[in-house]
Amino acid sequence: MKETKIVLSDREIPKQWYNIMADMPNLPKPPLHPGTRKPVGPDDLSAIFPMALIEQEVSTQRWIDIPEEVLDIYSLWRPSPLYRAHRLEKALGTPAKIYYKYEGVSPAGSHKPNTSIPQAYYNKKAGIKRIATETGAGQWGSSMALAGSFFGLEVTVYMVKVSYDQKPYRRIAMETWGATVHPSPSTVTNSGRKILEADPGSPGSLGIAISEAVEDAATHSDTNYSLGSVLNHVLLHQTV
C-alpha cells in the first residue's frame, strides 16, 4: 500500500513562523495612504492595528517565535495532515511528487484560523475589547469569530449582503461563536448608509464591507480592524 497521508505529532508543531520577507531580494513597496497618497508608516497603522502586528508587518527577521498561548490553541487541530496526490500524479503523467496540506480540520473548516488566532491574541494583549472585520462567503468571519471566543474579544463582522442571504449557516456559525454579524452595506456605518441611499438594493461587495469594518475600527477607541488576507503578517502566520 502506498503512503498517502503524513501526520506529525503534537510536539512537532513549528514553534516559529517563517518570514519570507527575509529572503526576498526586492521587498514589496509599502501601501499608500488613501488620503495623502504617501507610503503608510507605523503611526498610520496604529489607529486600527496593534503594534505587535505592525512590527510583524514590516519585519525582515527570518524566524518569529509563536507565543505559547497561540501554540496551545493551534494544537487543538494541528498538525494538519499532508497528503500525497498519487492519483493526480497518475492523471497528469508526471514524475513529480505532488503533496497538499489539508487545512479543513480546523474548527472553522479552513486555513484562516492560522492567522485569526494570533491576531486575536495580539489585540487582546494590547487591551483591545472588540474586533471589526469583513467577510465575503463567511470563512474569514467564522475564523475571526472563533478566535474572539478563545480570547474573550467581541467580534463585529460585516458580511457581503448577497452572501449573508445565501449562506445562513455561515452566519449562524459566527453567531454561535459570539460574533455580531451585519449584512453589508448596513445602516451601522456612514459608508454603509451612503451606499444604501444611492442603491437601496445593493448586493454589497467585499470592498464595501472592508470600508465599513475599517470605519468601525477607526471610530471606536476600544476596537481594532482585522484582515484575513493581503497583509505580510497574514502570510507569516500561514507558514505554521
Q: Any residues with CB less than 8 A from the CB of 170 and at least 6 apart, and which? A: 135, 137, 138, 139, 141, 142, 159, 163
Mean pLDDT of 152-167: 98
CATH code assigned to 1-20+42-240:
3.40.50.1100
User: Can you give the pLDDT at residue 62?
Assistant: 98
Is 116 a residue whose pLDDT tops 90?
A: yes
pTM of the model: 0.93
Residue whose C-alpha is closest to residue 25's, from 60, 51, 58, 53 = 60
DSSP SS3 for 93: coil
Residue whose C-alpha is closest to residue 57's, from 28, 83, 16 = 28
Q: Report pLDDT digits (tens) over 56-94.
A: 999 999 999 999 999 999 999 999 999 999 999 999 999
Is 41 a residue whose pLDDT tops 90?
A: no
Q: Report pLDDT digits (tens) over 121-143.
A: 999 999 999 999 999 999 999 99
Is 30 a residue whose pLDDT tops 90?
A: no
The rounded percent of the chain whose pLDDT value lies above 70 is 100
**What are the sequence ranges of the domains in the chain?**
1-20+42-240
Is 34 a residue whose pLDDT tops 80?
A: no
Higher pLDDT, 41 or 76: 76
Q: How confident is the model at residue 232 (pLDDT cuts 50, 70, 90)?
A: very high
Is 223 a residue whose pLDDT tops 90?
A: yes
Mean pLDDT of 147-166: 98
Mean of the per-residue pLDDT values of the chain: 96
Is 145 a residue whose pLDDT tops 80?
A: yes
Q: Report pLDDT digits (tens) over 163-208.
A: 999 999 999 999 999 999 999 999 999 999 999 999 999 999 999 9
Q: Is the peptide bond before 79 cis (omega within 30 degrees of 0)?
A: yes
